[in-house]
Amino acid sequence: MMGKLSIFDQLKKEGRSILTEFESKRLLKQVGIPVVETKLAKTQKEAVSLSQKMGFPVALKITSPDVIHKSDSGGVRLSINNVNGVKKAYDEILKKISKQYPDALIHGVSVQKMVRPGTEVIIGTSKDPQFGPVMMFGLGGIFVEVLKDVSFRIIPVDRRDAQAMIQEIKGYPLLEGVRGREPSDIPALEEMILKISNFVEAYPEIKELELNPIFAYKDCAVAVDARIVLE
């Protein structure tokens, strides 16, 4: 618990409200939410040894509080298969970022294990002026962006609410597994919703939290990207 408080304090001290992906994931991991293995490399050498330890393929992402849209600015490289690739990607990412954001504070480059694609799910929270923190659930990608196939509940969310909000979306049959698609671990998604509800309820300074995407598989679900914004 100390970890959470100290990072919130640290952000306040630095005068920023958005946690980096790395910070967000570290925090979520602490509260028991499965996230893709993500380590921070401060040097190219470190990036290489971390990726060797994790096993290829890996992804490299810029970690800076000043770079919000990581991929748009060339700060993300996916599916790197060997040591040379890691070295090259590390240099290129830093070069691009320092060109585009010469004043950016760089924490490092995060090294993440590439996981096989699962059914994409989004879980998020935001604050409603009348009801306070609210939870959203939906399928990721076009389902959330184009079809807006999502469900909401007011936090705190109980197990029955969590079940209902998963079953409520039109795309629910996709989670059950249709036409040979792998079914998703629905209880694991419920568990994630409940843990996030508890977390957000306990920390009113959290303004927005979003796990997007989460990859859901037959026997587990894991958050691939995450963002936490404080008040």
The binding site for other proteins (CB under 8 A) comprises: 68, 122, 124-126, 128, 130-132, 134, 136, 144-145, 148, 150-154, 160-161, 164-165, 208, 210, 212, 227, 229
Distance from C-alpha of 6 to C-alpha of 199, rounded to nearest angstrom: 15
By beta-carbon proximity to other proteins, the closer residue of 85 and 156 is 156
Supply the minimum distance, in Å, between the C-beta of residue 122 and other proteins.
6
By beta-carbon proximity to other proteins, the closer residue of 27 and 89 is 27
By beta-carbon proximity to other proteins, the closer residue of 59 and 155 is 155
By beta-carbon proximity to other proteins, the closer residue of 26 and 227 is 227
What sign does the dihedral 92-88-214-191 (CA atoms) show?
A: negative
Angle at 223 between CA 56 and CA 141, to 5 degrees: 100
Supply the minimum distance, in Å, between the C-beta of residue 148 and other proteins.
6
By beta-carbon proximity to other proteins, the closer residue of 111 and 120 is 120
132 Cβ partners below 8 Å, 6+ apart? 154, 155
Distance from C-alpha of 160 to C-alpha of 33, rounded to nearest angstrom: 19
* Six-digit token string for 24: 């967000």
Supply the minimum distance, in Å, between the C-beta of residue 84 and other proteins.
36
Supply the minimum distance, in Å, between the C-beta of residue 139 and other proteins.
12
Supply the minimum distance, in Å, between the C-beta of residue 145 and other proteins.
7
Distance from C-alpha of 78 to C-alpha of 17, rounded to nearest angstrom: 27
Supply the minimum distance, in Å, between the C-beta of residue 67 and other proteins.
14
By beta-carbon proximity to other proteins, the closer residue of 15 and 129 is 129
Among residues 30, 106, 99, 25, the alpha carbon closest in space to that of 67 is found at 106
79 Cβ partners below 8 Å, 6+ apart? 57, 59, 114
Distance from C-alpha of 112 to C-alpha of 135, rounded to nearest angstrom: 27
